[in-house]
Structure 1
Amino acid sequence: MTTLIKRASAEARAFNKTKAAPKAASRRSAAAADDLDHAPVIESPRKPRFAPVTFSEESGVRYLHFGTEWVQGAMRLSKPNHIELEYAQQMMAWLLFLATPARIVQLGLGAAALTKFAHRFLRPAKVEAIELNPAVVVAARTMFDLPYDDARLTVRELDAWDFVQDRANHGTIGALQIDVYDATARGPVLDSVAFYRAVRACLAEAGVATINLFGDHPSFVRNMKRLNEAFDGRVIALPEVHEGNRVALAFSGPALDVTYAALEKRARVLEAKLGLPASQWVKALRASSGQDGETFTI
Structure 2
Amino acid sequence: MRNKPASQHDEVTLSEHDGIRYLHFATEWVQGAMRIDKPAELVLEYTRQMMAWLLFLDPPREAAIGQLGLGAGSLTRFCLKHTDSPLQVVEWNPQVTLVCQWHMKLPAASRLVIDHEDAAVWVADPARQGQCPVLMVDLYDAQAQGPVRDSVQFYAHCRRVLGEVGVMTVNLFGNHDSFPRNLANLREAFDGRLALLPPIDAGNQIVLAFSGPPLQVSAEALLERAAQVEARYGLPARRWARSLIGAQRGQGLLDF
1:109-258 aligned within 5 A = 109-123=70-84, 125-150=85-110, 152-258=111-217
The superposition leaves residues 7-34 of structure 1 with CA deviations (integer Å, 9 ceiling, x where unpaired) of xxxxxxxxxxxxxxxxxxxxxxxxxxxx
- Structure 2 CA distance, aligned partners of 1:116 and 1:295? 35
Distance in 2 between residues matched to 1:51 and 1:99, nearest whole Å? 35
Q: How many residues align?
A: 250
* Alpha-carbon distance in 1 for matches of 2:26, 2:9: 10
Per-residue deviation, residues 151-174 of structure 1 (Å, max 9, x unmatched) = x11111111011101111112211
Match of 1:83 in 2: 42
What is the Cα deviation at residue 213 of structure 1?
0.2
Q: Which residue of 2 aligns with 1:107?
A: 68
Does the 8 Å contact 2:6/2:92 carry over to 1?
no
Within 1, Cα distance between the matches of 2:6 and 2:142? 17
Aligned partner of residue 296 in structure 1, secondary structure = strand
Larger RCO (CA within 8 A; separation ≥ 6) = 2
Say which SS state the counterpart of residue 208 (structure 1) adopts. Answer: strand
Write the distance in 1 (CA, Å) between the matches of 2:133 and 2:200: 25
Amino acid at match of 1:168: A
Tell me, which stretches of 5 or more residues in structure 1 are unaligned?
A: 1-45
Per-residue deviation at 1:202? 0.7
The alpha carbon displacement at 1:242 in A equals 1.5
Residue 251 of structure 2 corresponds to residue 293 of structure 1: yes
Q: CA deviation at 1:251?
A: 0.1
- 1:161–1:195: 8 Å Cα contact kept in structure 2? yes
Q: Deviations over 1:212-231 (max 9, x none)?
A: 00011010000000000000
Q: Whole-Å Cα distance in 2 between the matches of residues 111 and 47 of structure 1?
A: 18
| Structure 1 residue 51 corresponds to structure 2 residue 10 | yes
In structure 2, distance between residues paired with 1:265 and 1:169: 33
Superposed displacement of residue 294, structure 1: 4.4
TM-score (norm 1): 0.81
Query: Residues 290, 270 of structure 1: CA spacing in aligned structure 2 closer, same or farther, 3 A cutoff?
Result: closer
Cα distance in 1, alignment partners of residues 37 and 56 from structure 2? 30
How far apart in 2 are the matches of 1:208 and 1:284?
Answer: 18
What is the distance in 2 between the residues matched to 1:122 and 1:98?
12
**How many percent of aligned residue pairs carry the same amino acid?**
48
- 1: distance between equivalents of 2:204 and 2:252? 27
Amino acid at match of 2:254: F
Whole-Å Cα distance in 1 between the matches of residues 243 and 32 of structure 2? 23
Q: For the pair shown, which has the larger CA radius of gyration, 1 or 2?
A: 1
Give the drift of 1:203.
0.6
Aligned to 1:8: none
Q: 1:60 to 1:167 in 2, by over 3 A?
A: same
Considering only aligned residues, what root-mean-square deviation do their CA atoms show, in Å? 1.3
Asked if the contact 1:73–1:110 (Cα under 8 Å) also holds between the matched residues in 2, the reply is yes
For 2:126 and 2:104, the matched residues in 1 are separated by: 32
Cα distance in 2 for partners of 1:59, 1:53 equals 21
Distance 1:68 1:75 in 2: 18
